[in-house]
Every structure is written in C-alpha cells, then in structure tokens.
Chains A and B, each alone.
Chain A
Amino acid sequence: MQGYGFLLPALAIVVTFQVLPVLYAAFVSLYDSRIISNLWSPGPFVGFDNYAAVLTNPDFLRSLINTVWYVVMTVPVAIFLSLLIAALLNRKIAGRDLYRTAYFVPYVTSTVSAALVWYWVFQPRVGVGNWLFGALGLPFQRWVEEPRGVGTLLGLYFGVAIPDLLTGPSLALVCIAIIQIWHALGFDTVIMLAGLTSIPSEQYEAARLDGAGPWALFRQVTVPLLSPTLFFLVITSTIRAFQAFNWFYVIYSGLVPPDVKVVTIYLYESGFRAYRTGFASAVGFILFAIVLTLTIVQMAVARRRVHYA
C-alpha cells in the first residue's frame, strides 16, 4: 500500500482539478445556474434544456462554424509546411540545428506577447500587411478588423459577384490562422523530423534498387513509414485548434467580433461575462463531444491507413 502514499499528491490533484470538474460540469449543465452559492444546489433543475438552448443558439452555431474554419485552415497547412521543412532538414544539410532552433522559437514565445506583435503586423491602417500589399500594388486591407469573407474580398478585387456560400472565413480569421500556423510550425517540424530520421535508410536503398524515383520514394516509403507521426500530429493539432483562445482574446482585448469569435470565446463569455454557469458547462460538453467524435473518426481512418512498423 506504500504505492498509494507515493501516488497521493498527484492523485489528489488529478481528482480535484481534472476528474471532479468534469463530473461537476455534467451535473451543473442540467441546471439553470448563475452565480453559485451552494455547490450542490446550483439553481432550478432544467434537464437537457441548456443543451437544446446551446444547439439552437445562432451565436453558438456561428462560433462553431468559425472554429471549424480555423481548424481547417491551420491543421493541414501547418502539417504540410512542417513536412516540407522537415524533409529539407533531413537531407543532413549544413546548419540543420540552427534552422531547427529558428523555426522552434515561436513555440516557446508566450502567446500573449506574440498576439500583441502580430496585431502590429496586421494592424488595419499602418501595419506591415498594408505596406506589403501597397508595394505589390494590391488594395489595402483591414486585416484583423476585416469582417468580410476572403471569398467576398477576392470577388471584389476581380469584379466577380460571389454567392453567399463562397464568402469563406473572414479575413480577420485567416490572419489569426496564420498566427497559429507560425506558432505551431516549429513543434510540428521537430516531431516530423524525429519521425523522418527514424526511417531506416535501408528502406530507401531497397526501394531505389527497385528503380523508385524521388516521388515514388516519397509515396511508397516516406508516407507509410511516417504515418504514425502524421496521425499523432493530426490528432493533437486538431484538439489544440479547437481549444484556441489566447490569440482571439488578446488581439481584440477581450471584445472578439462575431466574425472571428470561436467556441472557446463563446464559452468564456457565457460563463464569465453572462454568468450562465449551467449553459456554459453545456457548451463545454458539446465541444468535448465534437472533439471526441472527430478523434474517434480519425482513429478509425488511421486503423486502415497507419502502418506501425
């Protein structure tokens, strides 16, 4: 039983701050609770009304669409770019460690400071974005303060009418996706590079002897043997993207406009601005359910596609 003595501090912390909050969230999400003065009677019992209220709330649905856009824009691009960088670094190139470190620095930078710096890059009037666009002869943009969709903006530039379906995410949301890619790139590259270096060179030599060219090598050796790494990155980056909060909160000083508002910000506002504790807990659970479903789907796909050596 000495084992429990060793475990006690860690176990107490995990139970109090991980397990208990989830159970309590499930409990409170069934009550119309506001500010809670008694832990076990949080307000009138409403059953699943909070869930129904969340799922039919247009602001919630809009924030969910924004979140999905954000995930779709960040995860594949960051993974593609990190694969490209890792593949270049894997050529035993001179200065490899230096490059690796350079790409990694954003990951250790605080997101609050980084958000301030990036706001200045995408500043709607005098930022670097407009300077660059001016130099390229493109029209000035309002960047992080542009609520119109990128599809609409492209349509305006080319003088084409864009149907509502193709307006796409707001330019502001695209800007924040760029920041997230910048931040995650180094981490993804390190993981990807570790995956690439673990592929035995005999595999490549054998394939080369069979007459495989660079593309065939990539398709038939690299991708299958890298698939556990790719799978790990897809899952963890998707979960991380669903949890994004700091960029949004800091860039807009806590007043996030509806065209960029993601679910985590919506949850924060419901819980800590409107003090709708039960409603906000329901938002959290719905988000959890979505992420969990996605993870299970990704795992099911991976079972057929991922090759563990």
Chain B
Amino acid sequence: MAVVAVVRRRRRLPRWSDVAAHVVLSIGAFLVAFPFLWMLLTSLKTLPESAGFPPTLLPREPQWGNYPAAWAAANFVLAFRNTLITAVVQTTGLVLFASLAGYAFARMRFPGRDLVFLVFLSSLMIPEEVRLVPSFVIVKFLPCPVPIDTICNPRGGWFDTFTVMTVPFMAGAFSVFLLRQFFLTIPNDLWEACELDGGGHWSYLWRVVLPLSGPAVLTVALFGFLGSWNAFLWPLIMTNNPEIRPLQVALSIFRSQEYGTNYPLLMAAATFSIAPVLVLFFFVQRQFIEGIARSGIRG
C-alpha cells in the first residue's frame, strides 16, 4: 500500500501551470525551428513552385536533384576543403597556444606577468570594427619567411593566405582566460609530485594539467572550431582568391551571382553548409552548452 501511495504521488496529475509552460515553450521552439524547416522544404521544390504565391507547404514532388545541382553550381568542394583546413589548423593552434599562455598565467612566476595579463584582458574590450581597416593594411606588410602562396607571399605579406585566416585567432583572450581559471583549480600537490619525479613545467602541463582539464579544453576547441567554421567578415576582407576562400564567403558569393533568385538551390546550399556544424553540435551539445553556462557566470 505504501509503495502504491508513493508511486501515485510521483505521478500526480500535471498542474495547469506545467501545461501552460509546455504550450508556451513548444510554440517558441516551433518559431525558432521554423526557418530551418522552411529551408528544408524550399530546398526540395522546383523553381516555379518556390516562387508561387501562396507558397505550398510540402513540395509537390521532392526535387532531391537540387542538392547535387547546388553542389555542382559553385565550387563548394573547394570551399568545404578550405573551411575544413582553416577550422582544424586554427583550433589546433588555439588549443596549443592558449594552453601554454593560460598555464604561464596560472602557474608560473615571472616579472611583468600581471601587466601582460592585463593586456590580454583589455584586448577583449577592443571591438573588431576598430581593428578591421588597420589590420587589412598591416597584414600586407607582415614578414614572409616561407614564400609559399597559401602561407605568405613576399609582395602581399599575409594577404590572401591560410595563415591570415587562422593565426590571428589562435590566441583568443577569452580562451586564455578560461584555461587559466581552470588550471588554477588543479591542486598543488600534483605539481610537487611531478617535481619529485624530475619533471619541469613542460612535462607537468602535458602529463598532468591538460589531461585533467578535459572540459575546459573541449569548450575552447568547440568555440574555436565554431568561430572558424562560421567566420565571414574577416575572410571576406582578407582573401580574394577563390582557391582559398572559405565556405561562408563562397555561399555569400553564390547568392550575389546568378543564383541569387534560385531559392531552391540557395536553400540546398545553405542546408549543406549548416549540416556539419549541426551534426557536431548534437554530439557535443551538453559539453558546449555547459561550457557557455560556466563562462557566462564568470563573465
């Protein structure tokens, strides 16, 4: 009898306020998801059907051929490759350099440390638009030790290279700060143990600190990857060569060219540019969202 009573209490009737909350949240979620739904539905329509009014909800006959057609219409293979190279290189560099810097700020003592840390933090407050025009000028004058076209070029500096798309984002102050805060929480006894084994800072960072900092490193890597995948303004300004331009720039050019009014093809292109990030997001969403929640509170 007691058991039944407990079960009954757990499965109480839903309160009206819970029902109301679900109604509001579901309507909101539908509105948020609607553009995606509309994108998918439009991507499967024929051009005349998509331009008809009132619009049809479901495609009369799904045009799966729109996807290969959009894929072939612009050189998206190249654009995907470029974005993938950029994202992987940038994320790797970011994790490496931000870990080193975060470790130096958290664990090492050297003159001027706090001043340099202040420089890092203040760079968070400088908006991108102040740097836009001068960066464009400076980039063209950067030194070129290895004259390979995709890395740098003696006449144009770093302009129009993979280097300019990746390197400037390998030391985000936000990432350095996040890692520093995380490294500070690692107990000091581990350092003493490592020192007894004859290890220095380098081996302590690689053998102890980083393996213990999984969540923070993952948050930094995810932000880096996402930022790189979705980057638009910077590569738009800093590159000119279609051979190295990333996906988002290619997509915007696709729109402004003759496909600007072929909405089924545009929606198909938008779908395959969003898809990889969405797939990644669904695998790591808990990590990602909780990483944001933590960083936001620290603000």
Contacts and interface: CB of A to CB of B under 8 A. Distances in A.
B132 A271 contact: yes
Contacts of A24: 134, 137-138
B131 A14 contact: no
Given A10-B100, A131-B55, A117 B267 contact: yes
Interface residues of A, number: 100
Interface in B242-299: 248, 251-252, 255-256, 260, 263, 266-267, 269-271, 273-274, 277-278, 281-282, 285-286, 288-289, 292-294, 296-297, 299
Interface in A1-33: 1-4, 6-7, 9-11, 13-22, 24-25, 28
Given A105-B281, A232-B299, A288 B32 contact: no
Contacts of A1: 110
Given A2-B108, A110-B248, A253-B260, A246 B133 contact: no
Contacts of B297: 191, 194-195, 198, 229
A33 to B, nearest CB: 9
A256 interface: no
Contact of A108 (B51, B237, B277, B293): B277
B133 A93 contact: no
A284 B129 CA distance: 6
A229 B116 CA distance: 28
A113 B266 CA distance: 9
Nearest to A42: B137
B129 A243 contact: yes
Interface of A is mostly: helix
Contacts of A18: 123, 126, 131, 173
Given A17-B135, A128-B55, A190-B289, A250 B255 contact: yes
Contacts of A120: 38-39, 42, 263, 266-267
**Residue of A95, A117, A134, A277 with most partner-chain B CB within 10 A:** A117
Chain B binding site: helix, strand, loop or mixed by DSSP? Answer: helix
Interface string B116-143: 1001100101111111111111100110
A14 B285 CA distance: 30
Interface string A117-130: 11011000110101
A287 B128 CA distance: 11
25 contacts: A7-B116, A9-B170, A11-B171, A13-B167, A13-B170, A17-B131, A17-B135, A84-B24, A93-B21, A99-B25, A101-B289, A103-B29, A108-B226, A113-B248, A113-B251, A120-B266, A131-B55, A186-B32, A190-B289, A243-B129, A250-B255, A254-B256, A264-B129, A271-B136, A281-B134
Given A22-B131, A277-B133, 19 more contacts: A3-B110, A9-B97, A11-B171, A14-B123, A85-B25, A88-B21, A93-B21, A99-B29, A102-B29, A105-B281, A111-B232, A116-B255, A116-B269, A131-B55, A195-B296, A249-B233, A280-B132, A285-B130, A288-B130
